[in-house]
Structure 1
Amino acid sequence: MSLLMSLFLVQAAFAGDAEQGEKVAKKCFACHAFAADAPPKAGPNLFGIIGRKTASVEGYAYSNAMQAWGEEGHIWTAEEIDAFIEAPKTVLPGNKMTFAGLKKPEERADLLAYLATLGE
């Protein structure tokens, strides 16, 4: 899927603001990188996450739960990222993410719009 198509689908589904999403992403910067070819931090690089196979960032040691999801062929969609970042431990028990989640739907929509701008 092209970056333009991904951006359109995310914005249509969530009506987020990418500029605001970049600000929301600052909550994630301690653990995640957002630039192409940046090494993983405490969490995997999120550049190009929409449409990417789960647990596929080279050099990152995923939890067993996340690895199993990837092995099943799970692909990160905007809708699934939205659910995951709202309640990571509920959506995938056993994952390593310690962040409690973004509870405000508008923050998640903005973050997804920003993530949609990060791709090849």
Structure 2
Amino acid sequence: MTNLRLALIAGALLTATAAQAGPAAPPSTWARCAVCHSNTKGAPDKIGPNLYGVYGHKMGVKGTYKFSDAVKKSGLKLDDATLDKWLESPAKLVPGNRMSFPGIKDKAKRAELIAYLKTLK
């Protein structure tokens, strides 16, 4: 076998393994979120909603959590840009929401959390 063929096979195996691996390990910043949110499929809501599988969905419509009217009416989609603004200042992005969290000022820490939320599927 040629080196190129071996490299292609190895790459395919690594890709398949990564796809089956499931959610990534949470970043250290997740500890602040875990106080109020669960992050596993089928886990019950806590003080806040379960965040498993929320990436890419509209705010306030997924799961059984009773969201505030402000969140339900926001119409925002949980994508990178929206999550970055939400994690920076939930009160500024959606005034009247019930999330009593001041936000995360460090953009890199917000990016880590967003990358992690994307793996929860």
State the TM bucket, normalised to the shorter chain: 0.7 to 0.9
Q: Which residues of 2 match residues 11-90 of structure 1 at below 5 A?
A: 19=25, 22-69=27-74, 72=75, 74-90=76-92
Contact 2:29–2:113 (8 Å) recurs in 1: yes
Q: Which residues of 2 match residues 85-96 of structure 1 at below 5 A?
A: 85-96=87-98
Shift of 1:54: 1.4
Q: Give 5+ residue unaligned stretches, structure 2.
A: 1-23
Distance (whole Å) between structure 1 residues aligned to residue 69 and residue 58 of structure 2: 15
Distance (whole Å) between structure 2 residues aligned to residue 46 and residue 59 of structure 1: 11
Amino acid in structure 2 at the alignment position of 1:52: H
Q: Give 5+ residue unaligned stretches, structure 1.
A: 1-17
Distance (whole Å) between structure 2 residues aligned to residue 87 and residue 58 of structure 1: 23
Instruction: List per-residue Cα deviations over 1:6-65 (Å, max 9, x = no partner).
Output: xxxxxxxxxxxx65x521111111100111111111111111121012112332111110
Distance (whole Å) between structure 2 residues aligned to residue 100 and residue 83 of structure 1: 12
Amino acid in structure 2 at the alignment position of 1:79: A
Identity within the alignment, % = 36
Distance (whole Å) between structure 2 residues aligned to residue 57 and residue 96 of structure 1: 16
Contact 2:54–2:62 (8 Å) recurs in 1: no
Contact 1:45–1:57 (8 Å) recurs in 2: no
Query: Number of matched residues?
Result: 98
Shift of 1:68: 1.1
Amino acid in structure 1 at the alignment position of 2:50: N
SS in 2 for 1:67: helix
Shift of 1:102: 0.5
Specify the alignment match of 1:103 in structure 2. 105
Amino acid in structure 2 at the alignment position of 1:46: L
Distance (whole Å) between structure 2 residues aligned to residue 50 and residue 42 of structure 1: 19
Distance (whole Å) between structure 2 residues aligned to residue 56 and residue 39 of structure 1: 16
Specify the alignment match of 2:19 in structure 1. none
Instruction: Say which structure, 1 or 2, has more relative contact order (CA 8 Å, 6+ apart).
Output: 1
SS in 1 for 2:28: helix
